[in-house]
Every structure is written in structure tokens, then in C-alpha cells.
């Protein structure tokens, strides 16, 4: 099948007849639901840009399985150049949507599973990699979106999966049959789950003996029997139900998170990629997290570009763009944003070839990337709010502006720089509000903190990857630690001067 168009993608999601619940109700016409549609538009952008010649160098890749041109979101990275192009692609999409465009989670899951299934087969004589290769080719040839599902609800964090009072807080195998397995549980805050054709499930933490039923990875259609979705709320989401675009700030685009429930779902063996091999849960988690942490060095930077632009336009509309402290704040925002990008590029350029033949980002630098992302967007958002001014959260509504009597009053008192139409000033301030406090803040702020793992998860990986012993050896060598002290050569400064 050739690459899908934007319209074909949206229709294909509508055809799935997904089981989605929101505000206590089942949503049937979900692709046109005003809360959901902006998130669908975001993924649709990954199809739209792939059709445009000027973007095809970064949006498309050549499949190593078929030699065909495919959307990069279904690609298994074959070089460091591929890894770098991925980061650039994500920055571009962040710029075009000002939001989380969701498709990266599946791409990162596929790349992590590629090497882990290979290594599991080498070690245990399983045949997961062959099955997985067929599955990847199916996704590539049909230009599908796969939702990468890792995060379990986790219940009591002090207990391993097999000791949880309710084992369903981790996705697990409840039945093994000749033809496949039956799984039960849930995956929490699943990005883009209701906009995906397929679900690729992975374990969420390192596992140990006793956790065999929980060390499971598999794929299934997003509309498989027994799967349903409970849509996650976002700050200010009901503004999307008001029928006006002005107060939303970024009316056409937005992110999506959902609670995905597996209510005894049957998975044929052909789509099982790990089942009981507890020692491979940890590398799978680390590699997926590493890939996704590197992705943040692209997507959040693209959204940061939009926010820096919005703050600068707001400053112009307020008539303060030439003030030196405003210029300096814009420089600071740019410095922070480009630092995250530099990290994303660096961990890609330092990527390594895996035994399975694919390329993986440098894990230490990927974790450094994400650690910076847990901080810098907050500072960029703080500076944007500083520049925009308080009006971005105190403005009257679109309905007030439209009112015959009070509309002209709103217009008169919200005027900024003389030739700026008031409505445009309101639009740009609402965009800053959307990115820092509204629906997009889920993707730009909280997701920067917790997406792809909370800050402490990166610090654990940084400690593990930092090769501290090597650094200590460097210091000891230069200081001469452990070498005999030749004190007979000791001279006082005066004595050596006399000599």
C-alpha cells in the first residue's frame, strides 16, 4: 500500500470503531468529537508532511526490510543519520502542531523491541525476532500508527508485580493456550491511544523471578475484543466544547492521553514478543525509555520554538519588544531550547550499532537530554508568561468580545500597540496560555516532567551509565595516587632558586 494521505488516515481510525469513554459516556463519533479531533489532527500531520516533497528527506526513510519508501515513524533506524533525522522530524512536527503529536511512542517501542527480541532469541532459543520482523513489515507496508504502551498503573510501588493485592495493576498473562495467550490489566496515560491502529505492549519495570506472567510484550489491533479506553482530561478541555476557537489558543491541535484497559484480550502467538523471560524486561524498558527520552530533544524543542515566537509577538503587540530585558529573556529562552536540541542531536550522533543491526541512541546522553527537558520547558514557560503579561489569564471571553454591548468595550481596553487588531492580540495571548496552562501544557510541561519516565528515573540511569570508576581513575592518574613519593627530591623554593 502506498503512503496514506491525511484523509485516509483519519477515515481508517474512524473505521476501527474503538471503545472510547469520556465524561462517563461512550463516544461513538470520536474522530469528530471536539475534544478528540485536535489530537487526531496532530497525528494526521505526520501523514500530511510525508506527502510534501520539501519534507520527505526527513519524513520518509527506506525500509531495510523491503527497500520501499516508508514513513519514518515505522522505520527501524539503520544509522546515526537516521537517528539525527528522527530528532529533526520531531522538532518540525512540534513546530507545525504546537503539541504532542503522539506517533513517536510506537516508533520508539518498535526500535527497542527490534534489538531485545533479537538478543532474547540468541540467549534463549526463542523465535520472537522473526515474528516481530513480520509485524514491523506489516506496519510499514500499511503505514500504520502503533501506540507504544509501557506504563502500568503499578498499585503499591513497594511491591513487585506478583505480590500486588490486585495483580491487574500490571498487565499480565491470565491464560496460556495452544494458539496464544490471554492478557488482563491496564496501561495508564497512553499517548495517542485512541488515534492508533495498533497497540504494542511492553513491561514497565525490571522483573525478577516470580514475575513471569508480567514479563510480557505483544501487539494487537487497537479495536481487539476486550480493549477499551477512558479518555484523560486536560486543563481547560471543555473550552473545546464551546464552539469558539478564540479562547482555546491552539484550536486545531492538541495531545491525547487515555487509560487503556485490557479486559481478557486474546493475543495469538504470532504477536507475542516476550512471555516470561524476566531478564529481558529491564533492557526493553531501558532501551524504549532511552529512545523516547532522545525524542524529547526534538518534539519539545519544536513546541518551544512556537512558545518563543508567541512570547516575542506578544511583546511586539504590547509595544515592549525593544526593551533590553525583553530581548534578553528571548535570548535566554532560545539558549535553553537549543540546549535541549543539542542534547537530542548529540545522543543520536553518538548512537551505536546493536547486535541486531539497528542503531540505538547513546543511553547516557539520552538520559541527559530528558533530564534537561524536565527543567528547561518550565523556565521557558516562566519567561513566556513574564513577557506576555497577566492579561493572558484575565482576558474576557470570546462571547464578551462578540457581544453587541460589551464587545466594543473589550476591544477598546484590550488594545495594545496601535496597529495591532485587538482580536489578534487576544489570539496570541491565548496561545501562550494554551501552551503554558491549557490543554497543550499537558504535553509541554507535565509531560516534559513525567513522560518517558520521571526525573528520578533518568538520574538512576545517569548514575548507572556515567562510568564513575573511569573518572576516578583519571583523577588518580593525574594526582599520582598510589605511586611512591620520592621525598628525597624535595627542595624548598629558596634552595631551588639558589641552585
Site for Fe ion in 186-245 (CB under 5 A): 191
Residue 299: active-site member: yes
Distance CA 291, CA 86 (A): 10
Nearer to ligand SF4, 191 or 348 (CB): 191
Element (H, E) at 158: none
175 counts as catalytic? no
Q: Which of 97, 191, 369, 374 is catalytic?
A: 191
299 binds, among ligand SF4, Fe ion, none (CB under 5 to 8 A by kind): ligand SF4
CB of 474 to ligand SF4, least distance (A): 35
Q: Which three cell numbers stand for residue 244?
A: 469558539
215 binds, among Fe ion, ligand SF4, none (CB under 5 to 8 A by kind): none
Q: Which is nearer to Fe ion, 294 or 360 (CB)?
A: 294
Stretch that binds ligand SF4, among 100-108, 222-230, 304-312, 350-358 (CB under 6 A): 100-108
Residue 378 falls in the annotated catalytic set? no
Sign, CA dihedral 464-467-473-476, equals negative
Strands 60-62 and 69-71: antiparallel
Of the candidates 75, 172, 189, 292, the residue annotated as catalytic is 292
Least CB distance to ligand SF4 at residue 479 (A)? 43
Note whether 264 and 181 are within 8 A (CB): no
Sheet with strand 216-221: strands edge to edge? 146-149, 198-201, 216-221, 272-275
Question: In angstroms, rounded to a whole number, what is the distance separating the alpha carbons of residues 283 and 458?
Answer: 15
Q: For the chain, how far is it from start to end, CA to CA, in angstroms?
A: 87
Choosing from 87, 181, 299, 308, the residue that interacts with ligand SF4 (CB under 6 A) is: 299
Nearest to 83 by CA among 290, 334, 260, 337: 290
User: Quick one: what does residue 295 bind among ligand SF4, Fe ion, none, with the CB cut-off 5 to 8 Å set by partner type?
Assistant: ligand SF4
Contact 229, 21 (CB under 8 A): yes
62 is an active site residue: no
When the beta carbons of 220 and 299 are compared against ligand SF4, the nearer one is: 299
* Look-up of cell digits 479506553: 229
State the nearest-atom distance from the C-beta of 147 to ligand SF4, in Å: 10
Considering only residues 394 through 453, tell me which ones interact with ligand SF4, judged by CB under 6 A: 443, 447, 451
Residue 490 Cβ vs ligand SF4, minimum distance, rounded to whole Å: 60
Helix, strand or coil for residue 236? coil
How many residues bind to ligand SF4 according to rule CB under 6 A? 13
The DSSP call for residue 75 is P
95-106 per-residue burial string, b: 16 or more CB within 10 A, e: under 16: bbbbbbbbbbbb
Instruction: Choose one: 22-30, 102-110, 199-207, 362-370; the region binding ligand SF4 (CB under 6 A).
Output: 102-110
Residue whose C-alpha is closest to residue 284's, from 105, 84, 466, 119 = 119
Residues 426-455 touching Fe ion, rule: CB under 5 A, are: 451
Binds ligand SF4 by CB under 6 A, chosen from 13, 40, 105, 336: 105
CB of 296 to Fe ion, least distance (A): 7
Residue 465: CB partners within 8 Å, gap ≥ 6?
363, 364, 367
Comparison of 102 and 372: residue with beta carbon closer to ligand SF4: 102
Q: 227-231 and 198-201 as β-strands: parallel, antiparallel, unpaired?
A: unpaired
Shortest Å distance, C-beta 344 to ligand SF4? 10
DSSP-assigned beta bridge partners for residue 172? 184
304 makes contact, choosing from ligand SF4, Fe ion, none, with CB < 5 to 8 Å by partner type, with none
DSSP 178: S
Does 338 qualify as catalytic in the annotation?
Answer: no
Q: Is 193 in the site for ligand SF4 (CB under 6 A)?
A: no
Concerning whether 359 is annotated as a catalytic residue, the answer is no
Nearest residue to 163 (alpha-carbon basis) of 155, 171, 151: 155
Buried b (16+ CB within 10 A) or exposed e, 348-379: beebeebebebbbbbbbbbbbbbbbbbebbbe
- The answer to whether 82 touches 147, Cβ cutoff 8 Å, is no
Site mask, ligand SF4, residues 33-72, x = CB under 6 A?
----------------------------------------
Q: Which is nearer to ligand SF4, 299 or 381 (CB)?
A: 299
Is 118 one of the catalytic residues? no
135-194 binders of Fe ion (CB under 5 A): 191
101 binds, among ligand SF4, Fe ion, none (CB under 5 to 8 A by kind): ligand SF4
Cβ nearer to Fe ion, comparing 203 with 443? 443
Catalytic entry in 231, 296, 359, 444: 296
**Identified catalytic residue from 46, 231, 257, 374:** 257
| Nearest residue to 200 (alpha-carbon basis) of 118, 135, 155 | 135
The residue ranges that bind ligand SF4 (CB under 6 A) are 90, 100-102, 104-105, 191, 295-296, 299, 443, 447, 451
Catalytic residues, by residue number, are 100, 104, 191, 257, 292, 296, 299, 447
The residue ranges that bind Fe ion (CB under 5 A) are 191, 451
Amino acid at each position: 500500500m502506498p503512503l496514506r494521505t491525511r484523509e485516509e488516515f483519519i477515515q481508517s481510525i474512524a473505521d476501527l470503531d474503538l471503545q472510547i469513554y469520556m465524561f462517563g459516556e461512550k463516544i461513538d463519533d470520536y474522530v469528530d468529537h471536539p475534544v478528540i479531533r485536535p489530537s487526531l489532527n496532530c497525528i494526521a500531520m505526520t501523514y500530511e508532511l510525508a506527502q510534501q516533497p520539501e519534507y520527505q528527506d526527513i519524513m520518509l526513510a527506506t525500509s531495510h526490510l523491503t527497500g520501499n519508501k516508508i514513513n519514518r515513524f515505522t522505520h527501524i533506524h539503520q544509522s546515526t543519520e537516521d537517528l539525527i533525522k528522527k530528532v529533526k522530524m520531531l522538532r518540525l512536527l512540534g513546530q507545525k502542531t504546537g503539541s504532542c503529536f503522539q506517533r513517536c511512542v510506537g516508533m520508539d517501542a518498535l526500535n527497542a523491541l527490534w534489538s531485545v527480541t533479537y538478543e532474547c532469541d540468541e540467549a534463549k532459543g526463542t523465535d520472537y525476532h522473526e515474528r516481530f520482523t513480520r509485524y514491523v513489515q506489516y506496519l510499514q507496508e500499511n503505514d500504520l500508527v502503533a501506540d507504544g504502551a509501557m506504563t502500568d498503573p503499578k498499585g503499591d510501588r513497594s511491591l513487585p508485580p506478583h505480590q500486588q493485592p490486585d495483580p491487574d495493576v500490571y498487565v499480565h498473562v491470565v491464560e496460556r493456550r495452544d494458539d496464544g495467550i490471554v492478557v488482563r490489566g491496564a496501561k495508564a496515560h497512553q499517548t495517542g491511544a485512541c488515534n492508533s491502529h495498533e497497540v504494542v505492549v511492553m513491561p514497565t519495570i525490571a522483573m525478577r523471578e516470580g514475575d513471569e506472567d508480567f514479563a510480557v510484550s505483544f501487539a494487537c489491533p487497537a479495536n481487539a475484543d476486550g480493549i477499551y479506553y477512558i479518555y484523560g482530561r486536560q486543563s481547560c478541555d471543555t473550552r473545546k466544547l464551546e464552539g469558539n476557537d478564540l479562547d482555546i489558543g491552539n484550536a486545531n491541535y492538541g495531545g491525547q492521553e487515555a487509560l487503556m484497559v485490557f479486559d481478557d484480550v486474546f493475543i495469538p502467538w504470532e504477536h507475542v514478543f516476550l512471555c516470561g523471560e524476566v531478564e529481558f524486561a529491564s533492557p526493553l524498558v531501558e532501551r524504549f525509555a532511552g529512545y523516547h527520552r532522545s525524542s524529547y530533544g526534538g518534539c519539545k524543542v519544536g513546541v518551544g520554538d512556537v512558545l518563543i515566537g508567541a512570547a516575542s509577538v506578544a511583546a511586539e503587540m504590547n509595544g515592549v519588544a525593544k526593551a533590553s530585558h525583553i530581548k534578553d529573556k528571548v535570548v535566554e529562552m532560545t539558549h535553553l531550547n537549543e540546549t535541549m536540541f543539542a542534547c537530542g542531536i548529540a545522543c543520536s550522533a553518538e548512537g551505536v550499532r546493536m547486535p541486531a543491526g539497528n542503531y540505538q541512541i547513546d543511553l547516557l546522553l539520552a538520559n541527559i537530554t530528558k533530564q534537561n527537558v524536565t527543567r528547561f520547558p518550565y523556565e521557558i514557560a516562566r519567561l513566556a508568561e513574564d513577557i506576555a503579561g497577566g492579561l493572558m489569564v484575565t482576558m474576557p471571553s470570546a462571547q464578551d468580545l462578540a457581544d453587541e454591548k460589551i464587545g466594543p468595550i473589550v476591544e477598546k481596553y484590550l488594545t495594545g500597540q496601535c496597529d495591532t487588531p485587538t482580536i489578534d492580540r487576544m489570539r496570541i495571548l491565548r496561545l501562550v496560555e494554551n501552551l503554558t496552562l491549557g490543554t497543550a501544557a499537558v504535553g509541554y510541561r507535565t509531560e516534559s516532567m513525567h513522560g518517558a519516565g520521571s526525573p528520578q528515573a533518568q538520574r538512576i540511569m545517569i548514575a548507572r551509565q556515567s562510568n564513575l570508576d573511569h573518572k576516578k581513575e583519571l583523577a588518580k592518574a593525574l594526582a599520582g595516587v598510589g605511586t611512591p613519593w620520592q621525598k628525597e627530591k624535595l627542595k624548598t623554593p629558596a634552595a631551588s632558586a639558589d641552585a
